[in-house]
Chain A
Amino acid sequence: MEEEIEVKISIPKTLYEKLVKEAEDTGFKDIREFIIYVLEQLVETSDFEGEVMSKEDEEKVKERLRALGYID
């Protein structure tokens, strides 16, 4: 497991409550794990020449292009 550092930041209470609500029934162990996941998704999202998409979405696009014979 990658080394972790402790960072203390303040976030708006309503945002925190929304995150807690959002994390419910998602299978994450706790809110900390959920927030790490959300931040990872954000970092992995590319803004390439104005196209905002996650790596996962980009892979889906490539899959379709492959299926339709546009790329090998």
Chain B
Amino acid sequence: MVRPHGGRLVNRVVSEKRRNALLEEAKELPQIEITYERLIDVMDIAHGVFSPLEGFMNQEDYIHVLYDMRLANDLPWTIPIILDVDPVEIDGVKEGDDIVLRYNEKPIAIMKVEEIYGWDKKEYARQVYKTTDPNHPGVAKTYNRKELLIGGIIDLLNEIRHPLENRILWPIETRVLFREKKWKTIVAFQTRNVPHRGHEYVQKAALTFADGLLIHPLIGWKKPGDYRDDVIFAAYETLIKYYYPKDVVVLAGLLMNMNYAGPREAIHHAIVRKNFGATHFIVGRDHAGVGDYYGPYEAWEIFEEFPDLGITPLFIRESFYCQKCGGMVNEKICPHEDEYRIRISGTKLRKMIMERKIPPEYMMRPEVAETILKFKDPFVH
């Protein structure tokens, strides 16, 4: 199996015995309330999703990631994992101190404060998002973050319950699972959507060359109009039940923040999937993009800069239904003119679902559509 990024799967979840002692200790320590997004980062660090990171980045790693897209030790890493605080929150806290990260007043983790440093949000936006436009959702979030950053390792004391917790697997779990299944090559597919025929085509094209497929929906914040997480899971379960061979697919949720950082985030998504044990990663056209901030194939081109990534990207072209070919194809394998090609539009599909209509079969499997329509309201508001 592919080794985790950096060679070792990080585990910063404290043992039961140590936990009780640390919870006692935590009562005496300075406390910082964190947002839901930082809580997700803490969980991801502790469970090895962000291996080799063991905590929030110090300045040296932060600067290297910002400008070189690599950690200080030269390992590829493209999205800074940082904890922002207001000066008043850390009044009296100095480097070397332990602090408690709380969420909804519950102690989540103990953090050893290794470094406190300032950052330039506009520069962060320019480097990570390639734009300083506040209309970009990632940039807007960056501008809303606090003024200082603190770096240091964390120890997770408490897990947070999640409505879909039984759908979420951590890297150690998928790794054990793949080993049990005796899969050697695993292709991961990232999604935030219900499956249409185009997705199915891409997944099956990749699966043809691999032992197993990891369908890995991102669970987390969604914008209004997106499909609900439980709807996405139900739709995929139906698709797998009716249209995939037995024992070649694992459907598991990934609790992780979405940044909409386009090409940089495509690399980030690939690294994370490597930590889950995937050997290949499907990179979509305009992967993790938003609006027209990134070119349609920028997320593919950036992989040329990372020959040492340790996971193989699969660039499968956008598929469409060709009336002459009589099936789902892509530009590389279909010789026919545009007039025969029917492209699957997510917007059109969403509109049909909103109007409680079953889309045509070349767009979506009828069983999948029926599953979605069983939900009174399949969308986020």
User: A58 and B3 in contact (CB under 8 A), knowing A50-B8, A50-B9, A52-B8?
Assistant: no
| A51 cross-chain contacts in B, Cβ below 8 A | 4, 9, 172, 175
In the bound complex, CA of A70 to CA of B174 (Å): 10
Please report the total number of B residues contacting A with Cβ < 8 Å. 19
A61 touches which of B2, B166, B176, B250 (Cβ 8 Å): B176
Query: Do the beta carbons of A70 and B8 come within 8 Å of each other?
Result: no
In the bound complex, CA of A53 to CA of B10 (Å): 11
A-B contact count (CB 8 A): 40
| B133 cross-chain contacts in A, Cβ below 8 A | none
Closest-by-CB residue of B relative to A71 is B180
The verdict on A68 contacting chain B, using a C-beta distance below 8 Å, is yes
Chain A proximity mask over B2-27: 1 for CB below 8 Å, otherwise 0: 11100111010000000000000000
CB distance from B235 to the nearest CB of A (A): 18
User: A52 and B9 in contact (CB under 8 A), knowing A65-B180, A70-B250?
Assistant: yes
CB distance from A48 to the nearest CB of B (A): 8
In the bound complex, CA of A51 to CA of B5 (Å): 11
Q: List 13 A-B contacts (CB under 8 A).
A: A48-B179, A49-B1, A49-B2, A50-B3, A50-B8, A51-B172, A52-B11, A61-B176, A64-B173, A65-B176, A65-B180, A68-B166, A68-B169
Q: What is the interface of chain B, defined by CB distance below 8 A to chain A? A: 1-4, 7-9, 11, 166, 169, 172-173, 175-177, 179-181, 250
Q: What is the interface of chain A, defined by CB distance below 8 A to chain B? A: 48-53, 58, 61-62, 64-65, 68, 70-71
